[in-house]
Structure 1
Amino acid sequence: MDHEKSSGADRAILDIPLEDQMFQGPSPDEQALVEGMAKMGWRLLQGADRASGEGDKSLVVVEDAGGERSTFHLLAILAFTTARRRMSVVVGMPDGTVVLLTKGADSSVLPLCTDDSAFGSNPSDKKAAEAEGRDPEVKGEGGKRHLQEFASQGLRTLVYARRTIPQEEWVQWRDGPWKRAERAIVGREEAQAEAASLLENSMTVCGVSAVEDRLQRGVPETVGQLRTAGVRVWMLTGDKLETAVNIGRSCGLIGGGMSVVEISAGGHGEEGGGEEGEEGEEELERRVRRRLEALSQEQSSGGGDRMAVVVDGTVLSLILTPVLATSSKAKEEEGGEGEKGFSSRVKRWGSKGWSSSSHHISTAFSSLLSLPRRLLCRPPPSSLSSIGPRPLLDLFLDVALPAATVICCRVSPAQKAGVVRAVRTREPRSVSLAIGDGGNDIAMIQEAQVGIGIAGREGLAAARASDYSIGQFRFLARLLLVHGAWSYGRVAKFTLGTFHKCACFYVTQAAFQAMNGYSGTSLYEQWTLSLYNTIFSSLPVMVVGVTERACTARTLLRHPELYGSGRRGEAFNLRVFWRWQGTAILQSILCVAIPYLSYCGIGGSGEGVGSTPQLYLLGITVYTSVLIVVTCKVCFLEARYWSPLTLIAAVLSLGAWALFQLSYSLAYPKAGSDMGYSIRGVFIRAAFKGVDFWLVILLTSSLALLPDLAAQVTWNVFRPSLAFMHQEREAWERRTRTRARWWQWRRDVGIEEGIEADWPGKEEEWEKEAPLAPKATGKLGRDDTTGPMGWLTRVRIPWKRPKTNPAILPMEETVSI
C-alpha cells in the first residue's frame, strides 16, 4: 500500500470558462497547489504546452490579487524522476533574468541548497526578519519544526528552492549538455538527470507547502478485514516518517495497544546528516545491528504480534544492499536500459541468439547439478555465529515478519521492489501481493506474485503494469475475500474432480484385468471408451469449476476469517488429493465387483459371464454406474452450491450417455465388432425388457457412494468446519425468508384473519433471538407491525440458529462493511 504521489507533470491547466475556476492536472499535488493559489487571488490564465522560450505555446500568464498580469517563458523542464525525487523548471522572468525553480522532497532539495538558506541559522536573515516584524525562525530552525509539524499531522510536504542563472551559463548549458541529453536515443533519462545536476546546486530555499492527502473511502475498514483474514499488511511509502506513522494510524495499520518501533538513521526518523563517510556508514550499521538484535530478543520473550516496525529509507538501503546488488547484476545480465543492455537483447534474440541462450542454459544446468553438493557443504545453523555476524537483512526479517505491521518510509521504487523480493526469498511458501496507484509502484507490482494497480487520479501506469486493476483501494476486500476465495475453491474442485473422474473410470479397467487373468480384453468398447472424457464426464466438473462457492459474498465480507481456509490451503493439498484418489479407487472397485458378482448370480441375459453378449452388457453396466457415481460426487456431494446449472449439467451428462447408447445399439452393424463385442440391440434389451439392469446399477451406485456420504456426514456433525457452519446459517436464513414471504402472501390475499405459526412451542425462543418478530401469541395479525411494507420489513434474521439445530454458530465480532 503506497501513499507516495509521483508527479509526472509540471503544470495544471485552467479550463474554460474562466469564472468556474476548474483546474485539471495529472497530479493531485499540482492541482491542489494551483487551486490554493487561486483562492489566494493568484490565478493561472494560461499554461505552457511545451518548453521552448519561443512562441505563444511556451508562455505562462499569471494574474495576481491586484489584477496585474505577468508573462513568463518556460525555457526548460527538468522532469520528475523516482531517482531524483524532484523536478525543476527554467523560467524566463518578465525582467529578462533566467531563474531555476525546484520543488521536491526535503531530503532531495535541502542538500542542494546553500548552508545559509537551507533552514540553517542565518544571523542576517534573523535581524532582517526582526526589523520587519516577521518570525525570525521561518528560515531558521523553525523551518524544520514546521516540516515536523506538517508531517506529524499526516500532510505531504514539499520544499521549494530557486536559483538565478547567469545568461552565459544558461546558454552554455542549453546548447551543450541539455541538447545532447534531449537528442540521446539510449540512456536519455540518465543523460537528462546528469545535465540537470549541473544547474540544481547552490539554490536558495523559498518555502514549504503541505498538502493533505486524504484516504479513500473504506480504507480503514478494508485494512481491518484483511488483517482479520490473516493477511499481513505492510505499507511502503515515500513520505516522511512522521507522515507515514500518521497515515498508518488513520488507516488502521497501527491500532490501539500497539508499540511503534522506529529504526531510522536520524534521531527522529530523518535521513541522517546528508553525505556520510565510510566511518559514518559503519557506525550506522553497528547501531542498526544493535537495535535489531535487541528487538529480536524482545520479540522472543513475547509481544511481537503487537509491534509496528517503522523503517526509513536510509536504513532500508543499508539492509537491502545484497538484494539491490543482486538485482542490479541480474538486470545487467538480462539487458537493462543502457547501450550494453540493448546489444545484449539483440544478441539473444538475433540470428545468433540460440548460441547465447545455450550458454545461459548450460550455466543453469551446471548450477542445478552442483546444488546437492552445496547443500551437503552448508554448515549447520548452530555454527553460523562462529563464521561471522548475521547479515542485516536476516536480522530485519526476523523482526519484521512476526510484527503486526511494517511501515517503510522514504523509500525509492527500487527499495520497494527489494523489500518484496526479500520477503519472497525468505518465505517461499507465502504469496506476496503488491498494490499501488502511481508510477513509483510499478517495480514493486511487477516483483510481487500478484500485482494490483489502482486506476485513478494518479494515472494508469500502475494499472497497465499490474495483473489486476481496480478503481479504489476498498475494492481489494471484495477482490480477495470474495472472488479470491471463490476462484480458489473452484480451481480446487475442478482439479480434484478431474483427477477423480479419470481415476474412477480407468481403475475399473485394471480391476477387470485382475478378474480375467490379465488377458488384455477391454471392458469397454473403443468408441465408448474414447468418449468418456470428451463428452460424458466433462460437463459436471466444468460447471462446478465455474459456479462453485462455499459461502455468499455477504457472508465472506462479514466474516473475513473464512479467507483463512484458502490461505492455509485446506481445499487442495496432498492429504485432500489422496483422499479423493482413495475414494475413486474404492468406488471403481465396487463398480466392477458388484455388477460382476451380480451377473454371475442372476445370469443376466441367460448366458454366462464369459460369453460375448455378456461382456458388452457388463461393460455398459459398469460404465453407467461409474458415470452416475462421478456425477453425483462432483455435482452434489462435494459441491457446496447447488444451482440450476449444476442440475442441468448432471442431467445432460447422463442423458447424453443414454441417448448415445440407444442410438449406438440401433445403428451398429449386425456383423458385430472386430473385438468380439455383440453390440446391436444389447442396450435396448437390457434397458427395456427387464429390471435386472437397472437394479444392478442402482445397487452399485448406492453402495459406491455410501462410504463417502457417511464419512462426510460424520465429519460435519462431529467436527464441522467454520465454512460449513456458515453454510448452515445461510440455508436457515433462506428458509426463514421463504417462510416469511409465504406468511406475507397469505395475509395479503386475505386467506384468513390470523395465521397460525407452524413452530408450536418455539415462540419464546424466536422472541429471544429476533426481538422484532411477531409477539408470542401464536397468531400473526395485521396489527402486529406498522410500516408500508408490512410485517416482512420488520423481520430481523438472528445470527444464531435455534438450539434445536445440531450445528450452532456462535456470535462473533466482525468488521462492519
Structure 2
Amino acid sequence: MSIFVRNVKNRNIYFFIKGADNVLIKKCHEKYKTFIYEESDHLSNIGLRVLVHGCLNVEEQFFHNFSALYNKNKDVKGQLENILEYVEKNIKVLAITGVEDKLQEGVGKTIEMLYNSGIKVWVLTGDKIETAICICKNANIKKKKHNIYIFRHENIKSTSNLIREFNSILHNIESYVLFFDNIIIQNCIKYIPNAFVDFAANARAVVCCRCSPIEKKEIAILIKTIKKKKILCIGDGGNDVAMIQSADIGIGVLGKEGKQVVHDSDIIVSKFKNIKKLILYYGNNTFLQTSSLCSFLIHRGFILTYLQFIYSYIFFSIPVSIFQGWLQIGYTTYYTTAPFLSLLLDIKIKKNLIYLYPEIYKNKKHKRKLDLKSFFIIVWISIFQGTVVMLGALKLFNDNYNNLINISFSSLIVLEIMNIHLEVESWHPLMISANICSFIVYIFSMFILRNYFDIMQIMSVMFWYKVILIVIFAWLPFFIIKKVKNIITPSQFFKLA
C-alpha cells in the first residue's frame, strides 16, 4: 500500500509505502536490508505479523512524470505493477512493526473437531513461515506429537530435489505438518502440480506461506481439480475473495476485514467457531433430513402409481384414474404436505453428541443415504403397502364401488401419515401438530367433497374399523422391523446416544 503526500508548508512531496517484509526488502535501499532481515525474523519468531514502513522524497518533476504515466496506463491490464516500479525503489525504511494477529475464541477446538471429522485442512497465508508456525501451534493445527517439515527455496534448487524431499518423508507423512515458502509453491504449481497435491494431501496439515490472492485461488483450484473432491474455503479479508469464489463452498468470517468477503461468500458466519455448528450439526442433520424427505417423496409417488396399476389390472385395463379430481390433488397437497415438510424438524443427531463424537461426520461422509439399495427398499415397501391397501379394500368394499374408493383412499392417507413414524428419530411438537392437522383437514374435507364420499358410510364405526385394520397390516411390519433393527444392528449415533 502506498500514497503520495505533499507538505503544505514547504511544498515537498513524500512517497509513503508499507507492506510485507519480503516485498519491501526488494524495494528498499541496500543499507536497510540487513536490518529488515534481522528484525523481521525476530518478530516472526514470536508470532507477530511483520510490516515494513518506508518513505521516499520525490522531486516535483518526477511526481508529474509519474502522475502522467499513471493516468495514461492505469486502466491497461498488467501495466500498474510496471508503473509502480518506476517509483518504488531505493526506499528509506522508517520502521518495522510487529502486529499480533490474535486468534478468535474457539478456533483451536473448532479445527480439532474438523480434523476428527475427517476434513483435511490447508492453510494459505500471507505470513512468513516463522509466524505461520506460531499460529499453527496456537490453532491446534500442529500439536506436540506432530513433526514440522519446512520446504524453503534456499535449500531446494530443483524440482528433482523437491521430489526427493517428498519421498524422504512419504512413509510417515501423516504425522507431519508441511510448510512451503512462496517460491516452492510457485514451482509446484507450475512444474509438478499433481505430485505436489498427491503428496501434501496425505499430511496432517499443509501450510502455504507468503501466498498472494492469485496463488491462493490457484491452489484451491488445483486441489479441486486433481483430487476430484469438494472443497470449502474460509476467509476473512479481501485477500481471500478470489480463493472463496473458486471453491465449491465459500465461507466468509466477519471481522475487522470481514465486510470485504460478505458479497462474495456463499455463507457468512460471525465467528470462526460457528463453522463447527454449520458443518457438523447442520451439515449432518440436513443431509439426513433431505434423505428422509426424498425417501418419503419417492414412496408417496410410487405407491399411488402402484395402486393405479393394480386398479387398472383388476378392472380390465380401463383408462380411468383410481382417485380422480380433488382426491388426486388433495393426496399430494392438503393431506400429506404438512407431514412431509415436518420431517425437516427431525433432529437426527443431537448437537452435544456430534460435538463429542465428530467422527460420526467422517463415517457419514463416505456413505450415500439414498443409494440403489435404499431405492429398491423404498420400492418394495411401496409395493407391499400398496398391495395390502388395494387387496384389503377389495375384500372389504361389499360390492359397492364408492366403498372401494373411500376405504382405499382413507387407508392411503392414514398410512402416509403413519409412515412419518418410520423416518422420525426425535419428535418435535410441530411435527405432531402437522400430522394431527393433516388428518383433521382430511376428515373435514370428507363432509365438503360429497361427490367423492358417502357421508353415511364414513360416519360408521365399521368403515373406520376397516381402514384401521388395513393400515395396521400395511404399516406395523415395517415399524417392528425398524425397532428390531435398532436393537440388533443399531446405527453408530444410535449406539452413542
TM-score when scaled to structure 2? 0.93
Relative distance call for 1:304 and 1:704 in structure 2 (3 A) is farther
Hey, what does 1:551 align to over in structure 2? 349
Name which of 362, 375, 383 aligns with 1:585: 383
Name which of 469, 474, 485 aligns with 1:699: 469
Hey, what does 2:43 align to over in structure 1? 150
For residues 552 and 657 of structure 1, the distance between their equivalents in structure 2, rounded to whole angstroms, comes to 34
What CA deviation, in whole Å up to 9, does each residue of 1:660-700 have, x standing for no partner?
A: 222222xx3xxxxxxxxxx5xx5323233451x32332222
For residues 485 and 246 of structure 1, the distance between their equivalents in structure 2, rounded to whole angstroms, comes to 32
Hey, what does 1:316 align to over in structure 2? 185
Does residue 639 (structure 1) correspond to residue 424 (structure 2)? The answer is: yes
Q: Secondary structure at the match of 2:410?
A: helix
Q: AA paired with 2:33?
A: A
Hey, what does 1:523 align to over in structure 2? 322
Does residue 169 (structure 1) correspond to residue 71 (structure 2)? The answer is: no
Q: Which structure: larger Rg?
A: 1
Q: AA paired with 2:488?
A: F
Shift of 1:566: 4.4
Relative distance call for 1:293 and 1:395 in structure 2 (3 A) is farther
What CA deviation, in whole Å up to 9, does each residue of 1:728-767 have, x standing for no partner?
A: x4xxxxxxxxxxxxxxxxxxxxxxxxxxxxxxxxxxxxxx
Hey, what does 2:253 align to over in structure 1? 454
Aligned length: 497
Shift of 1:585: 2.4
Asked if the contact 2:4/2:13 (under 8 Å) is kept, the reply is no
Hey, what does 1:721 align to over in structure 2? 491
For residues 314 and 167 of structure 2, the distance between their equivalents in structure 1, rounded to whole angstroms, comes to 68
Shift of 1:710: 2.5
Q: Secondary structure at the match of 2:149?
A: strand
Hey, what does 1:418 align to over in structure 2? 218
What CA deviation, in whole Å up to 9, does each residue of 1:491-522 have, x standing for no partner?
A: 22222211211112221111222333323343
For residues 350 and 442 of structure 2, the distance between their equivalents in structure 1, rounded to whole angstroms, comes to 34
**Which ranges in structure 1 are unaligned for 5 or more consecutive residues?**
1-79, 81-86, 120-138, 273-282, 322-390, 609-613, 669-678, 730-817
Hey, what does 1:101 align to over in structure 2? 16
For residues 170 and 694 of structure 1, the distance between their equivalents in structure 2, rounded to whole angstroms, comes to 94
Relative distance call for 1:439 and 1:530 in structure 2 (3 A) is same
Q: AA paired with 2:375?
A: F
Q: Secondary structure at the match of 2:388?
A: helix
Q: AA paired with 2:69?
A: P
For residues 478 and 116 of structure 1, the distance between their equivalents in structure 2, rounded to whole angstroms, comes to 52
For residues 471 and 226 of structure 2, the distance between their equivalents in structure 1, rounded to whole angstroms, comes to 49
RMSD: 2.3
Relative distance call for 1:620 and 1:648 in structure 2 (3 A) is same
More helix by share: 2
Hey, what does 2:108 align to over in structure 1? 220
For residues 235 and 42 of structure 2, the distance between their equivalents in structure 1, rounded to whole angstroms, comes to 27
For residues 66 and 322 of structure 2, the distance between their equivalents in structure 1, rounded to whole angstroms, comes to 87
For residues 175 and 40 of structure 2, the distance between their equivalents in structure 1, rounded to whole angstroms, comes to 29
For residues 584 and 89 of structure 1, the distance between their equivalents in structure 2, rounded to whole angstroms, comes to 76
Asked if the contact 2:231/2:248 (under 8 Å) is kept, the reply is yes
Shift of 1:556: 2.9
Shift of 1:259: 1.7
For residues 5 and 305 of structure 2, the distance between their equivalents in structure 1, rounded to whole angstroms, comes to 77
Shift of 1:569: 4.0
Shift of 1:221: 1.1
Q: Secondary structure at the match of 1:460?
A: helix
Name which of 141, 154, 167 aligns with 1:253: 141
Asked if the contact 2:128/2:210 (under 8 Å) is kept, the reply is yes
Q: Secondary structure at the match of 2:166?
A: helix
Q: AA paired with 2:454?
A: F
Relative distance call for 1:255 and 1:577 in structure 2 (3 A) is farther
Q: Secondary structure at the match of 2:56?
A: strand
Higher relative contact order (CA 8 A, sep 6+): 2
What CA deviation, in whole Å up to 9, does each residue of 1:256-309 have, x standing for no partner?
A: 211212222124xxxx9xxxxxxxxxx5323223323444xx23xxx3322212
For residues 214 and 155 of structure 1, the distance between their equivalents in structure 2, rounded to whole angstroms, comes to 9
For residues 90 and 460 of structure 1, the distance between their equivalents in structure 2, rounded to whole angstroms, comes to 28
Q: Secondary structure at the match of 1:209?
A: strand
Relative distance call for 1:253 and 1:91 in structure 2 (3 A) is farther
Shift of 1:93: 8.4
Hey, what does 1:539 align to over in structure 2? 338
Hey, what does 1:483 align to over in structure 2? 282
Shift of 1:95: 5.2
Name which of 607, 624, 630 aligns with 2:410: 624
Does residue 243 (structure 1) correspond to residue 131 (structure 2)? The answer is: yes
